[in-house]
């Protein structure tokens, strides 16, 4: 697909035509990554953040939020829960806290590898090469870092503390790939100020970078953020502003699958927040093959409020898992076993190729 074809799909509203897109993406998903749905246990181990991103509820400027940092023992306990539930991966996610003890995280990674034998994905923001290398040597396998929008002007408006704009995000992704991480990134759909053209460019960027994992979720307004309080200053006119809708999210998932057939693509919690009944299932039917159940202790989940009213926030890890199994089976899919690396990453690893 070229840029104009992608824009045409993003603007498409005819149900019959969209069904063709969903079906095509589902076929490509089936042919490239199979029928398995892999579960990643999400551990939101800290909401402390030093960045001032205008859209995020845990940004440093939000003084209404109670901050927390889980202990190593608590994180390990969550990893053990994930292992008992049959997950092959845990995702250690936090705010970007430059004061975090990098050795604390390294030791935690080592202990998870030793005691739970799980793949470890990190989602902790921008750091220097030496830090990424430390965590890789400790046993980290993957790294998630969404660039949210490739439109540099919009990126700088939304990230007022960014020194080099979105280029710094792309540079970190290149570095992570060079160090041997399985690398994931993605965008926020319907960000105020995001045009159809810029979203199409973002989709093409997924392919250009050669992402192993692609995360795409809708923008959900948080009232305690500067963006939430000043939407009108960012929104484009109705003809150009991409909507932060469930349908637009399905379009992006499907187009990402067609552009990057071998990538792992999650049906996100944000989708389930917009549509608790069928959001994740429909995402899985439009090209996704990953779900990330939350194994964070419930006492911390309400404090990790990137956006409000997050789905499944009060459910225990066991309850969430049982529900997820039923949902996945209801659409004729099954739970994958093992670590669930992307086929593209495995091929590169076999050949000893990084970037």
Query: Tens digits of per-residue pLDDT, 116-131?
Result: 999 999 999 999 999 9
**Distance, CA of 74 to CA of 298 (rounded, Å):** 12
Task: Show me where the domains of the chain are located.
Answer: 3-348
Please determine, for residue 271, whether its predicted confidence score (pLDDT) is greater than 90: yes
User: pLDDT at residue 83 above 90?
Assistant: yes
Q: Specify the residue for token string 């159940």.
A: 293
Q: Which residues of 10-30 are buried (b: 16+ CB within 10 A; e: fewer)?
A: beeeeeeebeebbeebbebbe
Q: How far apart are CA 174 and CA 205, in angstroms?
A: 12
Q: What is the mean pLDDT of residues 123-150?
A: 98
Determine the pLDDT at residue 349. 81
- 275 has a pLDDT exceeding 70: yes
Confidence band, pLDDT 50/70/90 cuts, at residue 347: confident
The end-to-end CA distance of the chain, in Å, is 23
Confidence of residue 353 (pLDDT cuts 50, 70, 90): low
SS3 342: coil
Residue 129 is inside which H or E element, if any? helix 129-138
Contact 81, 41 (CB under 8 A): yes
Residue 354 near residue 307, CB atoms below 8 Å: no
pTM (2 decimals)?
0.96
35-61 pLDDT per residue, tens: 999 999 999 999 999 999 999 999 999
CB burial class (10 A; 0-12, 13-18, 19+) of residue 133?
middle
Q: Which residues, 6+ apart, have CB-to-CB distance to 218 below 8 Å?
A: 188, 189, 190, 244, 245, 246, 248, 249, 270, 271, 274
pLDDT at 101: 97
pLDDT category of residue 311 using cuts at 50, 70 and 90: confident
Task: Give the model's pLDDT for residue 348.
Answer: 82
Q: Considering the chain, what is the average pLDDT of its residues?
A: 96
Classify 123 as helix, strand or coil: strand
Residue 9's CB is within 10 A of a number of other CB atoms, namely: 21
Assigned CATH topology for domain 3-348: TIM Barrel (3.20.20)
Per-residue pLDDT, 328: 96
C-beta atoms surrounding 319 within 10 Å? 12
- Torsion, Cα of 114, 117, 123, 128 (10° steps): 50
- Tally DSSP H helices, then E strands, for the chain: 15, 8
pLDDT over threshold 90, residue 195: yes
For residue 354, pLDDT beyond 90: no
Bin 285: left if φ > 0, else alpha if -120 < ψ < 50, else beta: alpha
pLDDT band (50, 70, 90) for residue 350: confident
- What is the model's pLDDT at position 332? 97
Burial of 80 (0-12, 13-18, 19+ CB in 10 A): middle
User: What confidence tier does 355 reach under pLDDT thresholds 50, 70, 90?
Assistant: very low
Give percent of the chain above pLDDT 90.
Answer: 94
Among 59, 65, 57, CA closest to 307? 57
């Amino acid at each position: 697909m070229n840029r104009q074809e992608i824009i045409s799909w993003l603007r498409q509203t005819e149900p019959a035509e969209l069904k063709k897109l969903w079906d095509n993406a589902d076929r490509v998903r089936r042919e490239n990554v199979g029928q398995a749905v892999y579960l990643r246990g999400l551990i939101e181990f800290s909401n402390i953040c030093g960045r001032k991103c205008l859209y995020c509820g845990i940004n440093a400027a939000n003084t209404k939020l109670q901050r927390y940092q889980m202990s190593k023992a608590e994180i390990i306990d969550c990893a053990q829960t994930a292992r008992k539930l049959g997950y092959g991966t845990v995702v250690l996610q936090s705010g970007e806290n430059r004061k975090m003890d990098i050795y604390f995280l390294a030791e935690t990674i080592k202990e998870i590898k030793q005691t739970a034998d799980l793949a470890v994905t990190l989602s902790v923001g921008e750091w220097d090469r030496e830090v990424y290398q430390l965590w890789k040597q400790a046993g980290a396998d993957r790294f998630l870092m969404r660039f949210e929008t490739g439109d540099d002007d919009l990126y700088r408006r939304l990230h007022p503390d960014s020194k080099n704009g979105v280029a710094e995000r792309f540079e970190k992704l290149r570095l992570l790939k060079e160090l041997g991480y399985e690398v994931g990134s993605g965008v926020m759909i319907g960000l105020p100020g995001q045009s159809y053209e810029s979203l199409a460019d973002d989709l093409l960027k997924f392919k250009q970078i050669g992402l192993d994992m692609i995360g795409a979720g809708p923008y959900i307004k948080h009232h305690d953020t500067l963006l939430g309080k000043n939407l009108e200053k960012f929104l484009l006119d109705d003809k150009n502003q991409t909507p932060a809708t469930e349908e637009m999210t399905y379009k992006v998932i499907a187009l990402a699958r067609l552009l990057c057939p071998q990538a792992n693509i999650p049906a996100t919690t944000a989708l389930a927040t917009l549509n608790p009944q069928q959001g994740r299932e429909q995402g899985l039917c439009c090209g996704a093959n990953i779900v990330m159940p939350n194994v964070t202790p419930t006492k911390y989940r309400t404090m990790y409020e990137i956006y409000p009213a997050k789905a499944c926030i009060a459910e225990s890890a066991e309850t969430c898992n049982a529900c997820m199994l039923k949902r996945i089976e209801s659409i004729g899919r099954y739970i994958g076993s093992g670590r669930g690396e992307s086929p593209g990453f495995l091929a590169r690893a076999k050949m000893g190729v990084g970037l």
